[in-house]
Structures are given as structure tokens and as C-alpha cells.
A and B are shown apart, each in its own frame.
Chain A
């Protein structure tokens, strides 16, 4: 099993950190992983993306041409990568920032108001973790919820922030959003 994931959105939406949490969760599960970011001039408000590859086998290239999974948090990102999402790909889309969510035939997608869901958990900053929860609900074979929880516990020492993140992670499940 090898999964190729693209995460993309505005800088400041936690794109790179979502990728890193995925990568760290993969390490918890003893899998191989590569994480490759866009870097440099993109700051808050610009577009930002990262590729994450997770596999039990050694990973050759860290680049992702045709993702298996896309976590897309804004319209410019969907417009930029639309053609690369082929049949069989699964997309998690942020309907709060995406109005035109048309995609290629055969692409599976779920559109959710991720911003609003994050605000319900107490902060817009956990939008990315809401998306992670959705991913885990749909594709637990990529990473397990327990692994993500372990990673979040390692990253966030502040109890309040940790709670927001854990709430965000469980949000999809609590709403019964699953495959």
C-alpha cells in the first residue's frame, strides 16, 4: 500500500503542519514517509501546498503527480490541481472557501464547511485538523486515529490548544461523517 496525498490551501491554514502531522503519524505506525513542501516566499495569504507519501515500502520520489487523496482548503488550490485529480482520487474540500467544486469524472469528493466546523471547536486554527479527522474517518488505512492523537499530544503541550485539536480530530466522527 502506498498513498500519495496533496494538501493545499492558503498560507496560514495549517497546510504544512497538517502534512507534518500525517507524516509523524505514519512514523508512529512504522511506515515510510516523505513530506515535501512548497517553501519560501509563500506566507500568510499566499498559496501553500505539500506532498505526503506514505508507504510500507521504501519511497522513491517525494513528488506527487496524481494524488490518491487531496485535502483542498481553498478555491485557487482546486483550480490549480483540478486536472491532476484523476479517477479513483478522493478529495476533501472546504466548502467555506470553494464555490466551484467541479472535478474530473470518477473523482470522489466530500465538501464540508471546514471553517465553520473549526470555529465550533473554538478556533479557525484547527481547520486543518478537522480535515485530518475527515480523512481518518474515510480512509483509516492511511493512518489510524490513535496515531494522530499520539502525535497531537506530542506537539501541543498547552492543554487548551490540545483539547481544541483533539475535538477537531473527532469532529467528523461525532457528526457521523464516514465512508
Chain B
């Protein structure tokens, strides 16, 4: 008899759902859309059984606003969708940010614009990292590159959301959502900061003055004060929550910058290039907002050239250019569901960078 292996084969979508439940998410509302249907199905099968609430909402808009209600009620809440649905959720995300409510929004990206295609894409980078909805706000964005990391980032995402009282987005692409990999542990990770009790939540004004949740500030100057308060929060997040991963960068002449699934493919390319004797390395932003500026500046200091690989026609590359104005930045991207292969990346570096 072989020993029972504890690792479980799960898709990114399922693992994100399970991680949410383990992280203490007690409220999920969603709407069907490919390629994230396994996530809503997993929630439907598990939330009620395990003491949570599951609602299949009438729309993405309703789903995110139900999540806003649950968050206002002081409960850990999440919703998920894919690109066209995330466009619809932007209203709610803006209100969450304005009302300073914590919630987790998962975007399993597909190709656009418009209805586009159900195939994988990374073309919502701009939308995710620049707030996305109306008004002066940001949402921290975490991009997993494996099923295992998706678990960690969901747990971290809930903690960041609660700590800063702000919505957090998990930006996965369809490859991460659909791919299955072994997941070792769902143990709850400990956040390094203390999360305060939610004494602002709507629970009935028993023995305390009433609480109100709002983003409306009509009197002159009051909204600006609110905006400035939020700005302090963004600055704090920018300072504290930059995350990245590096591979073979110590002596690298050529640095590939990629996130999510494209970082996996780029890693394969780096491995091939190393075998060819080319000193390539990988820099992978884990937090897309805040963009890991400090890390990238330091890691890229001694590299000769930088290649950004994305499953889009060039979005994150703009942040890389802002971050590294002195460097020569190259870009390789595919759109509309096309995926750059590791072979293409290797060829591109050999032809254009060397």
C-alpha cells in the first residue's frame, strides 16, 4: 500500500474558492461566466454546507452590491467573475473603495474587448491597477502564477482588505483558473499585522451610536478631506505591500518581466536560455498594484536589457518603462487568446536583445 499523498489536484478556480472559505469568507455572490465557472460551482457546493452564504445573483452588478452589503455587515465577503463581468462590477468596486469596505474580487481574465473570447488573456491590467471604476482610488491587485500561490494570495488578499479597509483584487488569467496542480496545504496563513475588530460594521445600533456606511460627502471640502485620507492609505499600501519573485537574476544580463501564467512560460524560456549559455533572469511582480517599483529598480540595476512578456498587446510594459526609464525595454505579447510560447521568447531574445 502506497502512502496517502496529502496533496490534492485542484484547478486554480477551485483552489481560490476553497482558500476563500478557509480564510473565513462567509458570503459569496456570483454570476456564471466562463472561464471562472468552477469557482462559483465550488462555492455553491461548499458555502452552505460549511456555514457560509451562497447567492447566485441576477447579474454581476447585483453580485458585487450584495458583497458590499455583506461587507457593510462586517462579514468577509467575495465575488468572482471574468473580464466582461468585472467591467460590470466596477460600479460596486468604486463604492467599496469609497465606503472603505473590505472585500475580495476575483478576476479570471479572458480576452476582450467586448465579448471577446473565453480564452485566456492579461488585458485587464490597466483596469485592475488604475482603480477601474470612477473616482480617485486604487485596489491592491495580486496576481498568482500557480494554483498553490493562488491559495496564499486569496488568504493574504482578505487580510490586506481587512487591514486597510479596502477592496482587493485577485487578478488571475484563465490559464491559472483552468490549470490543475497539486495543492499541499490550506492552512490559514498569519498576516504580519494586527487586524482590528470591525466596530464600524452595521450590526444594529445596540448600546452604541448608529453606524453609517457611505461614500457621499456633499458639504464643501469634506469629500476632499475624505480623498486625502484615502490617499494616505494608498501611500501606506504602496510602501508596505509591494511583492515580487525573482529567479536567476543575480548575474543576469537579460531580464524577463512577466506575471501570472506568462511568468511560468517565461521561466521555462529562462531555463532554456541558461542552457544556451545566455544569462537570463526572471522578475515576476506578485502585487501588480502597488507595482514592485523598489524591487524592480534594484534587480534591474545591472541588467543590459529588459523584455516584458504579457498576454496582451502591452499594458504592464508601461509600468516597467516608468520604473526603468534608463533601460532599453522590449515587449513581446500575444492577444486574443494567443499565448507566447517559451520557444518564441527564446527566439525573440536571441534575435532582438543579444
Contacts and interface: CB of A to CB of B under 8 A. Distances in A.
24 contacts: A23-B180, A27-B5, A27-B7, A32-B182, A34-B179, A34-B180, A34-B181, A35-B9, A36-B178, A36-B179, A37-B178, A37-B180, A39-B34, A39-B178, A40-B118, A60-B267, A60-B268, A60-B271, A61-B267, A61-B268, A62-B181, A63-B341, A65-B342, A65-B343
Interface in B100-146: 118-119
Given A23-B180, A39-B178, A62-B175, A28 B343 contact: no
Nearest to A65: B341
Contacts, number: 66
Given A27-B182, A34-B180, A147-B2, A39 B264 contact: no
A49 interface: no
Interface of B: 2, 5, 7-9, 34-35, 118-119, 174-175, 178-182, 261, 264-265, 267-268, 271, 339, 341-343
Contacts of A1: none
Given A60-B268, A63-B339, A35 B5 contact: no
Given A39-B118, A61-B268, 17 more contacts: A20-B9, A28-B2, A33-B181, A34-B180, A34-B181, A35-B9, A35-B179, A35-B181, A36-B175, A36-B180, A39-B178, A40-B35, A60-B265, A60-B342, A61-B267, A61-B342, A65-B341
Given A28-B5, A39-B118, A61 B265 contact: yes
B9 to A, nearest CB: 5
A175 interface: no
Nearest to A52: B180
Contacts of B264: 60-62
A40 B279 CA distance: 39
A150 interface: yes
A13 B179 CA distance: 20
A138 to B, nearest CB: 22
A41 B268 contact: no
A34 B261 CA distance: 12
A24 B183 CA distance: 12
B267 A27 contact: no
B2 A27 contact: no
A35 B181 CA distance: 7
